[in-house]
Each structure stands twice: as C-alpha cells, then as structure tokens.
Amino acid sequence: MSWLDRVGDRAEELMHAHALMESSRSAEACLIFEQVIDTTDDPYSRADALLQRLSAVINLGRTAEYTRAVEQAFDAARDLPDPYLHGHLHALAALAAHNQGALDRCVTHLVRSARALGSVQDPDRETAWGWHDLAMAYSYLSFHGYALGAIERARRLGLTSGIPEETFAAPGIRLRNAVALDHHGDSDGCLRVLRDVGGDLERFVRAGTAGQLRPSSRAAYGYALVRRAALGAAVDPPEVPELDPAWLLANGGDSTRTRDIRQLGGACLAIAAGRPAEAITRLESIQVSAETLGAAEHARLSSLAYAGIGDHAAAHRADRYAFRLATQRNDRLRDVYVDGIAARIEHEEMRREAARYEGEALTDPLTGLPNRRRLERYVAGMVSRGEPAVIGVVDLDGFKAVNTTHGHHSGDLVLQRVAGVINRVMRRGDFVARYGGDEFVVVLPGAGMAEAGEVGRRVGAAVAAEDWESVVPGTPVGVSVGFAEVRGSATGLRDALGTAFELADREMLRAKARTHALP
C-alpha cells in the first residue's frame, strides 16, 4: 500500500497540493496543507500535511518557522510506523538544520533518513520524492557523492512509478559540485561539469521533453549556462526559449533558493556580456543565502567582475576570500565529526540509542565521498545479492612529496581535487569511496575487466590532465589503479571481499612499480 493510499478523508486535496509542490508553487500548496492541518482528524492526513508543509516552508525560506514546523511534523509521525514518513521527514529536517547552521544535527538527520528510506518494503512515488529531498540535503552539505547516489535512486524509483526522468533531473546537485570545484581553484573541472549539465538540457530539448522539467531545475540549468559563460567559455546563442539562460532564470518558481540563483545569475550575465561594472553593482546590492551555492560564490563572482574591469588587486583579494570561505566549510565539517557528533553521543538521548547509531557517520568529511565503512556495506550488499562487480584500488603517486614539500593543507586540497576528478569520469551508477589516506576505491557494478581497464585509463588521464602546478608547484601528482573481480556469494562473503581487495591492491602496486620503472 502506497503512502497516499493510507491518507483518508483529504486525499484529493493533498494530491492537488503535492502537484503544486512538484511544480515549484510552494506558497499555494502551503495554504492547502495548513487548511488540512486545521480541519482533519485522520492521523495520516495530518502527518502528510505537516510533512509537506515543512517542505513548503523550507522552499519559501520562512526560517522563523523551521523549528516549530519540524517539531509539529515529528509529533504527528511519532505513532505512525511507516518508514517512508520518517525517512522523508528526517531528510527535510536535515535541510532545515543545514539552513540554520546546525551541521551536527543535519548529519544525524541524514543518517536516519537514509536508514528509514532504505527500509521501505514497497517503494512508490512518495518514496522517490523522499530520496529526492535526501539528495538535496546531501548536496547542500557538499556530500556530492552521496547526493548523486540518492538522486539516482530517486530517478529509478520515479521511473517505476511513472514519474518522467526530467522531474528528477536535479541539475542543482551537479551545479553545486561544479561551483565547489571552482571555489577550490579547479576552474577546468568546474567547466567540464557545467558543460555536462548543459548537455543534459540540450538532450531534453531535442527530445521535446524540456517542458516536463521542474521550474527549480530550469533555474539551475540557466545558472549553469551563465556561470560557464562568466568563466569565459563560448556559449552558442539560444535557438529556443528552453535554452535561453535569461528565460530559464526568470521561470524558476517561487523558492528562496531560486531567487538567490536568479540574482547571482544576473551578475553572471553581466560578466559574460562584458559589463563587469554592472556585475559589481548588482553583487553589492543583493543578499543571498550562503547555503544556496556555497558561501564562496558571491566572492568568486566579485573576483571575476573585478578582473573584468582590470582591477586585478581587488580580484585577487576577492578570490583569496572566496577560497578561504570554501576551505572554512571543510573545517566546519571536520569539527562536526570530531566535536559535534561526539558531544551529541554523550547526551543522554544519544546514549540510549548508541547501540543503534554507533558508527553511522558514513561519509569522509574531507572529500564528501562515502568512507570505508559505507564501501564495505555497499559491496557486501552487492555480493549477498549475487550481483557481479569489479573493484578498483586507486592510489596517489607523489602524495608523500606533496605533504612534505607543501604541507598537509595542500595535501587536503589535492585529495579533494582527486576525489572530484574520479567522480567526474566514472560511469553513472558506479560507486566511489575514500578508503583511507591517499587511497580511493571504485566499484563498477556489472562491469568486466576490459571495461574496468578503460575506466582506469580515464581516471589516470584525467588526474594527469589537472593543473597541479597551480596547487602544488614543482610536485607532480598521478595515480596508480588496479582492478579485480568480486566473486563469491552470501555464504563466502568475507573471503570474497578480502580476496578481491587483495588482488586489486596487488594490481595497483604492479601498476605503480611499472610507472616508477619508466625512464
């Protein structure tokens, strides 16, 4: 039985309000949800209305209402056993906590959301939307690998439930990944991701399905186009409105995030059109949330605008400030894991649930990739289901010299950039994790060794093509990659995993030895 099948007396009103939410008309939907909350006696109708009202309040940026809206929704859900309800609610609570700057609380909600949504026995349309909102929360916290995995799950569930692919296109996830690369100095990587985002939009336009894109997706596509142009990339004149960035930005719905993107997009348009002074004026007059595209985006655009008018000293100051803001985010995430989560575990409520949630921090805070624990669970699940896969071990060459010559801060930047490079070149559905130190692991579901070899060559070439001289001058960075097939069953799971990792690691060491043997 689907979630909406449980809703009793107000199903028609709630379905209409859901449709408004999907069309980015949150203000209209919110009025319907509030009316249902005030008049229904059905616990499922009330819980759904409070859940969706929380989503609408977040979209509209009504921050003063976040705490109360979260509390009311959890109160209504407390005695209802449906895991979808709790999973979706934790995803929204994570978004609210993130917007309030409570990163430790946000991470806790993310863990609980993924657990609950993953336990739904008969996932349906509403479950797909739960995974969608969880993907958004991961993305805003810069957990880009998790975000891509969650949105892919939402897309698969959505297609099964009759939701068009365009509805869950979610270009904002890759857009945030792209600008984060630029904020950390990887403008080439940013441009590659933005080009891919624009390519998806062109594909939808050619297929005649761009009209099914959500308004919020239109805004993200529009910003991807103008941000790329602001970095100096040539962008063809739009042939149809659906490819016109100004039209896309102006038709993005009523959320506060869309408003922020529209305002920043106006500055990008001015930079791209050769009007940097206008861009500076625009940037000086707007206030945008640091959470929409990262705290560094405003400063980074200011740097591009100052460079456009020839004030290179101001451009340099703005660029350094943007870089500092971007790295501060990483420091805050590390603090969350080291201090915030530890403090919460010591709290009485967390101690009562420690056995349940111990070790559930499954993301590497430096790179945003899944960590070793999450990798092991992922591979264990595949093997237990009898699904074939190839595991690859990716180890950095020259990393010790990076830390020795340039310091651990530069080492962190190298690890972050390598993580981004690997993510970009993998196939859709592949899994990437940071295994520890300077070692990454990739999992290629359904692949053979020949296909794995091609993936390894792409990874090596992409890392070699990066501009390492600007990050760690005089210290080249490369990777060695080794692959092995996972062969086994649920009964021999531990041996299968151990053997595959050992073989892949051995192949990686052979590759490293061959590299060092070259003249």
Looking at the fold, whether 124 and 43 belong to one and the same domain comes out as: yes
In a domain, 367, yes or no: no
Q: Which domain holds residue 406?
A: 372-517
Total domains in the chain come to 3
Cα 462 from Cα 397, distance rounded (Å):
14
Instruction: Classify residue 447 by burial, with Cβ atoms within 10 Å: 0-12, 13-18, 19+.
Output: buried
Confidence of residue 350 (pLDDT cuts 50, 70, 90): very low
CA 142 to each of CA 38, 82, 180, 181, 266: distance values in angstroms, whole numbers, following the listed order: 37, 29, 8, 11, 24
Which domain-ending residue is among 263, 287, 322? 322
Looking at the fold, whether 149 and 187 belong to one and the same domain comes out as: no
Q: Please write the tens of the pLDDT for every residue from 294-316.
A: 889 999 999 999 999 999 999 99
Tokens encoding 21: 């939410």
Looking at the fold, whether 170 and 153 belong to one and the same domain comes out as: no
Global confidence as pTM? 0.59
Q: Please write the tens of the pLDDT for every residue from 132-172.
A: 989 988 898 888 888 999 999 999 999 998 989 898 999 99
More reliable by pLDDT, 237 or 194? 194
Confidence of residue 5 (pLDDT cuts 50, 70, 90): low
Q: Please write the tens of the pLDDT for every residue from 417-450.
A: 899 889 888 888 889 999 888 999 999 988 889 9
pLDDT given at position 360: 47
pLDDT given at position 495: 67
Looking at the fold, whether 235 and 110 belong to one and the same domain comes out as: no
Looking at the fold, whether 63 and 151 belong to one and the same domain comes out as: yes
Beta carbons of 48 and 14 less than 8 angstroms apart: yes
pLDDT given at position 354: 42
Tell me what the pLDDT averaged over the chain comes to.
85
In a domain, 257, yes or no: yes
CA 142 remoteness from chain centre: 6
